Chain A
Amino acid sequence: MEIKVLGPGCPNCKRLEKLAREAALEAGVEATFTKVSAIKDIVSYPIVSTPGLVIDGEVVCSGRIPQKAEIVSWLSEATRA
């Protein structure tokens, strides 16, 4: 599973990355984490505002910091799919 965190390096995206890693541990999911910080690359995703969370190429959340429980449920869905 590939998890990408989109954000230029401000406290919000750092927080999202931390929560995503913890959620992956909780969900028992093996994932590679990539942080996309170059604005050029962030813009190539269909989001309007950072931070953004991409799971296996699909944007699941953008513009806010989701709760860890939400991330865990998205990860579980992605493994089942």
Chain B
Amino acid sequence: METLTNITGLLQGGLGNLASYLAAHVLLCLLPAFFIAGALSALVPREAVTRYLGRDAPKIVSYPAAALGGFVLAVCSCTIMPLFAGIYKKGAGLGPAITFLFVGPAINILALTYTGVAIGMDIAVARIVLSVVFGIGIGLIMALTFRHDDAAHAAEINGAFAGAAVVPGAAWAFLLLLVALLIAGTLQVGLLSNHYAQLTLPLQGVDRLQETLYRWVPFDATRGEEGVTAQGAVLIGLLVTIGLSAWRGLESIDEGFNRWTWVSLGLIGLTLLAASLRFVPRAAGLDLGITGRTLAVGAALVGLWYVAARRLEEHQVREWLWETWRFVKQIFPLLIVGVFAVGVIREWINPDWIQALAGRNTVLANVVGVIFGVFMYFPTLVEVPIANMFLSLGMHRGPLLAYLISDPELSLQSILITSSIIGRTKAWVYVAWVAVFSTIAGLLYGAWVDGTSAWRIAGILLAGVAALAVALRYVGMRQESSARALEKAADSGSAGGS
């Protein structure tokens, strides 16, 4: 009997975790984020960013462009790797290529929004700022360390990095509307959360349904858990129908639209609206509160439909839906499994261990966070529920950030591919620097959480990057002058000889 109670307890842990990670406010973030990722992938021509990453691009342009590229262009490793190889071999060289390689997995739009909504905006912002600064830093260091190799390797000019593409106006509008949808869904502001109208559906028994759900999947509100509410159950049901209809409607979208495409898109819009309503089940019926959020989400959806139908070309809409669906297929199933597993495992882990190892913002704690991130491989986005689990078990936010930054960066497969492109030595040096910088990032953020002023931290960061840039400049000038000296010697030598 005890085993049965244990198993039930584990299942409830898993289901409860799933409920909180698919709750209304998470869906309002995750669904638009997938569409944004798809839009970035389909509507932003690579050339619009890579034109700033050419061989002759000045460093002040190529490094920030590489960081921006990492944010905009890189959602999965199959996009990151070929671009990384291209930037390295045909473009701006090792430095910006490494910056791109680092920044891409660290701040892709899905991971960032998910971190923000599931753990907190402060850690998401820290993730962006520190990843960009350290990405540029690692790029500069690698360029400095391997400057001889870099100068020597072949310069194939083939025009791939000399394009002049720009992002078309309609694509900008579309992207901005998608971001507006995301913000409308997630911003915690009175204007959006207040409800302005109420609709009462004469549905009996919804309150009893909710009571039953609370009993099946108990939750501990003091631990920040949320149970499965009636709204949650409705949303999960909608997600299942979306999955089924999207399979028919989006799987072959590159060949054309069909009925199921419209069905699935309609269901997605409905889900977003349903997630933004306020459900209050009463004995007499179901009260639906129309909040500011509902209106904002509705407006964004209408705007998106208009731009997609009137301003974008058909192939752009098809490619957008294809890319979005591809990311969903790659990421969502594993995410569900991962969230469930985390909910189960969490019952087993003793908080004392976590607090002993990583309860305070020490160097050791951050190193532990990084080692865990480097050696444990988790599917994309699963690092967020895992980080949340550690947080609730007592891990300090500093080591947590160290883990969050290092986890997506390195997996055995990505290290192997990277070393096939830049060579084993460079690859392992890169891995070492990623570990070092993730630790430092965690320490800095942890210091801020513990009370150190943000200005002080910004000052330390700027000083570090400035020192690197100066060192690289100095080395570059030395290299140039010694090359000129060699030329002179060769000239005078040949002049003397002839």
Chain A residues within 8 Å of B, Cβ to Cβ: 7-13, 15, 19, 38-40, 42-43, 46-50, 63-65, 67-68
**A63 CA / B73 CA spacing, docked (Å):** 12
Nearest CB on A from B302, distance (A): 28
Q: Are B76 and A10 in contact (CB under 8 A)?
A: yes
26 intermolecular pairs with C-beta atoms under 8 Å apart = A8-B81, A8-B417, A9-B78, A10-B76, A12-B78, A13-B78, A15-B254, A19-B254, A38-B420, A39-B417, A39-B420, A42-B82, A43-B85, A43-B90, A46-B158, A46-B159, A47-B160, A48-B47, A48-B50, A48-B160, A48-B161, A49-B82, A49-B86, A63-B46, A64-B319, A67-B254
The answer, yes or no, to whether B35 is at the interface (CB within 8 Å) is no
Q: Are B421 and A65 in contact (CB under 8 A)?
A: no
> Considering the complex, which residues of chain B in the window 48-68 have a beta carbon less than 8 Å from any beta carbon of chain A?
50
Q: How many A-B pairs fall under 8 Å by CB?
A: 67
* Those 4 A-B pairs whose CB atoms lie nearest each other, nearest first: A10-B78, A43-B85, A46-B158, A49-B46
**A67 CA / B86 CA spacing, docked (Å):** 26
**A47 CA / B47 CA spacing, docked (Å):** 10
Nearest CB on B from A12, distance (A): 7
Chain B residues within 8 Å of A, Cβ to Cβ: 42, 45-47, 50, 76, 78-79, 81-83, 85-86, 89-90, 158-161, 163, 254-255, 315, 319, 322, 326, 329-330, 417, 420-421
Q: Which DSSP category, helix, strand, loop or mixed, fits chain A's interface?
A: loop
> Hey, which chain A residues are within 8 Å of B82, CB to CB?
8, 39, 42-43, 49-50
Q: Which DSSP category, helix, strand, loop or mixed, fits chain B's interface?
A: helix
**A50 CA / B76 CA spacing, docked (Å):** 12
> Hey, which chain B residues are within 8 Å of A9, CB to CB?
78
Nearest CB on B from A14, distance (A): 10
Nearest CB on A from B88, distance (A): 8
> Hey, which chain A residues are within 8 Å of B315, CB to CB?
67
Most B CB contacts (10 A, CB to CB) among A7, A8, A42 go to A8
Q: Are A39 and B78 in contact (CB under 8 A)?
A: no
> Hey, which chain A residues are within 8 Å of B161, CB to CB?
48
Most A CB contacts (10 A, CB to CB) among B158, B254, B322, B329 go to B254
**Given A39-B81, A63-B45: 10 more A-B contacts, CB < 8 Å:** A10-B76, A13-B78, A15-B254, A39-B421, A42-B85, A50-B78, A50-B82, A63-B46, A65-B319, A67-B254
> Hey, which chain B residues are within 8 Å of A50, CB to CB?
78-79, 82
Most B CB contacts (10 A, CB to CB) among A10, A15, A19 go to A10
